[in-house]
Amino acid sequence: MQEIDKTKFDIEGFTLIKNVLTKDEVEKLRKASYKLIAEDEKNGNYIIHRFAKNHIGCLTAISEFRKLIIDDRVLKIATKLLGEKPTFFGDCIMEIGIGNRGFHKDTANRNDQTHPDWTEDYPVIRIAFYLEDHANHSGGLKVRVGSQNTVKTNQGKAVILPTQAGDAAAFCLRTSHAGNAVRLKIAPNISLHTSLEKRIPNFLKVPEEKERISIFLTYGLKSGALDRFMEYMYNHSVYQKRIHNTNYSTAVKDEISSKVNFIDITESYKAYNNQQQCPILKK
């Protein structure tokens, strides 16, 4: 695994860390993803987001994903970028297929530059793993350079990250990003506008290497930003489904807590509904 460039991350809002996972680990995660979705299809425990199948519930219930969430290499990235031991609060997503293509941000507040989400530090990040090649194929992640400092999603140079299976792409939740980037055969490194991507005929595109499987892991520091994001989760219908379908055993809680600061989102959600605040973080 290469060195983690904290300076680049702070300036640009994202960074790419090569060779975090081995080929064998990637294949095990792909198999675990297909197995999980197959089980979900039997019991209806998934949603379709755009054209991608999303598991509903915290991924820590599945050993392969739990190992990734608390893997020392992943936590080294989170610790370096956040500045101290990270907090995991149950926000983790795996999806198979084509997801969100338009540029967007993942913060609770996305349109008010005077909101604390934009005037205060924002120590909440996502670490994304794509389990296939997107350095030479379509389907990868696009980001806008320096866009973590503005609510506008059309500012900052748009670049397609050359992720390969096993790489980790880390970005601030304030950074503008888009999935399923289209690479042109004649100019594969040019980032097209989303409206153009949708109209490009297939014979002009570089195809995807294989079916897209992506994993998004969210870490933060206990802060106003994390407090507000968790409150956003509590009031978002999809997150509510994920929370309702999450159940941490004592053994799983102990295992996660041994590696990160852990917030049980199910208990926190109950407390929020009782008190209309985020009591885990507030003092």
In a domain, 135, yes or no: yes
pLDDT level of residue 162 (50, 70, 90 thresholds): very high
283 found inside a domain: no
Candidate ranges 147-151, 180-184, 269-273; pick with highest mean pLDDT: 147-151
Dihedral pair phi/psi, residue 95, rounded to 5°: -140, 150
Q: Is residue 1 part of a domain?
A: no
Nearest one of 213, 166, 163 to 34, comparing CA atoms: 213
Q: How far apart are CA 189 and CA 136, in angstroms?
A: 9
pLDDT at 278: 54
- pLDDT tens per residue across span 65-123: 999 999 999 999 999 999 999 999 999 999 999 876 789 999 999 999 999 999 999 99
**Per-residue model confidence as pLDDT tens digits over 132-155:** 999 999 999 999 999 999 999 999
Per the domain annotation, does 218 fall within a domain? yes
**Cα gap 20→160, rounded to integer Å:** 19
- Total domain count, the chain: 1
d(C-alpha 174, C-alpha 272), whole Å = 24
CATH number, residue 62: 2.60.120.620
**Amino acid 48: pLDDT:** 83
Tell me the sheet residues that pair with 107.
Answer: none
Say yes or no to pLDDT of 279 above 80.
Answer: no
Q: What's the rounded Cα separation, in Å, for the pair 43 and 139?
A: 29
Q: Which pLDDT value is given to residue 276?
A: 58
Beta bridge partners of 35: none
Q: Which residues, including other chains, have CB under 8 Å from residue 169's CB and lie 6 or more apart?
A: 14, 15, 16, 17, 127, 128, 129, 130, 141, 143, 161, 163
Share of the chain above pLDDT 90, in %: 85
pLDDT at residue 221 in the model: 98
Structural domain boundaries, residue 113:
6-275
Q: What is the pLDDT of residue 267?
A: 95
Between CA 105 and CA 110 the distance in angstroms is 7
The residue type found at 171 is F
The two three-digit tokens of residue 196, written as one number: 């153009």
Residues 6+ apart with CB under 8 A from 1: 17, 18, 19, 20, 73, 76
Is residue 97 situated within a structural domain? yes
Name the maximum alpha-carbon separation found in the chain. 58
- C-alpha span between 106 and 118 (Å, rounded): 12
Residue 209 maps to a domain = yes
Indicate whether 280 belongs to any domain. Answer: no
- Round the average pLDDT of the chain to a whole number and report it: 93
Confirm whether 281 is domain-assigned.
no
Q: CA–CA separation, 145 vs 147, rounded Å?
A: 6
194: confidence class by pLDDT, cuts 50, 70, 90 = confident
Asked if residues 209 and 183 have their Cβ atoms less than 8 Å apart, the reply is: no
What count of Cα atoms within 13 Å lies in the side-chain half-sphere of residue 147?
A: 27
